Amino acid sequence: MAKKKDSTLIVDRANRILPEHIGIIMDGNGRWAKKRLLPRPAGHREGAQTFRKIARYCNNIGIKVLTVYAFSTENWKRPASEVDALMKLFKEYLQEALRDFREENIRTRFVGDRSPFSAELQELMRETEELSADKTGMTLNIAMNYGGRAELCTAIKQIAAEIKDGKITSESIDEKMISDYLYTAGQPDPDLIIRPSGEYRTSNFLLWQSAYSEYVFMDEILWPDFTTENLEEAIDIYCMRNRRFGGV
């Protein structure tokens, strides 16, 4: 049974110790569309439906934090038409979230540098966070314009500025302090990171936070086809792992 380092244990009806924090690299949208002779944005649209379904399910089974990789700092390199389609999809999702998801007990946060997004999208992000801030259920981190290396650079710049201002000393830097300067400050590290579609990479996702995460790569499935059964399968695999956190 997968052990947790700290004492926060979520045990489900099947007596499994659930991961407290799940990360998902929602990969394979483009290939899903290509297989159906559809344009790539059609895969992202379907992937957005899968995301909604999986986020609700995670909240229902008691997951505390879900982080999804929606747009990386590197994704700007994609053709403008695909980037535009993704921005349109984010806008639609956030408008829908503001309109329809008021009853959903999910706190939404955005992780990443939001400054390159349009003013309209940034405002929707702000409103979505504000509207859901008091929710008591799962925290949903949507990683947008996120990169683990960029996140660490931002944290290091902030720490350096505070040292310069005399607020902290370089001797006081420790792992806890660095974690506190990341977008995920105050949240548990991901226990389980799932990547469908047959790619075996971390792709700059939660670099610092994933030091002891258990990875489950699911080759046989592309993200738009990902089901709650696939999620359960990944959780079962996680539950069978022997987590040692460097010990024996």
Catalytic residues: 27, 75
Answer yes or no whether residue 195 interacts with ligand FPP by CB under 6 A: no
**C-beta of 5: minimal distance to ligand FPP in Å?**
30
| Distance separating alpha carbons of residues 138 and 179, to the nearest angstrom | 20
**DSSP assignments along 58-73, one per residue:** HHHHT-SEEEEEEEET
Closest CA to 23 of 211, 177, 155: 211
- Taking contact as CB under 6 A, which single stretch among the options 28-36, 127-135, 163-171, 229-237 is the one that binds ligand FPP? 28-36
Answer yes or no whether residue 196 interacts with ligand FPP by CB under 6 A: no
Contacts 24+ apart (CB under 8 A), 42-50: 43/222, 43/224, 44/82, 44/85, 44/86, 44/89, 45/89, 46/224, 47/223, 47/224, 48/89, 48/93, 49/224, 50/26, 50/223, 50/224, 50/225, 50/226
Answer yes or no whether residue 91 interacts with ligand FPP by CB under 6 A: no
Answer yes or no whether residue 26 interacts with ligand FPP by CB under 6 A: yes
By CB under 6 A, how many residues form the interface with ligand FPP?
Answer: 16
- Taking contact as CB under 6 A, which single stretch among the options 15-23, 24-32, 146-154, 178-186 is the one that binds ligand FPP? 24-32
Could you give the maximum distance between any two Cα atoms of the chain, in Å?
Answer: 59
What residues pair up with 216 in beta bridges, in sequence order? 194
Q: Binders of ligand FPP among 124-143, rule CB under 6 A?
A: 142
- Closest CB to ligand FPP among 102 and 157? 102
Answer yes or no whether residue 221 interacts with ligand FPP by CB under 6 A: no
**C-beta of 32: minimal distance to ligand FPP in Å?**
7
- Binder to ligand FPP among 16, 18, 54, 90 (CB under 6 A)? 90
Answer yes or no whether residue 95 interacts with ligand FPP by CB under 6 A: no
Answer yes or no whether residue 30 interacts with ligand FPP by CB under 6 A: yes
Question: What are the Cα distances from residue 22, in Å, to 122, 124, 155?
Answer: 25, 25, 23
- Binder to ligand FPP among 2, 19, 41, 44 (CB under 6 A)? 44
Binding site for ligand FPP (CB under 6 A): 26-31, 44, 47-48, 51, 70, 75, 89-90, 93, 142
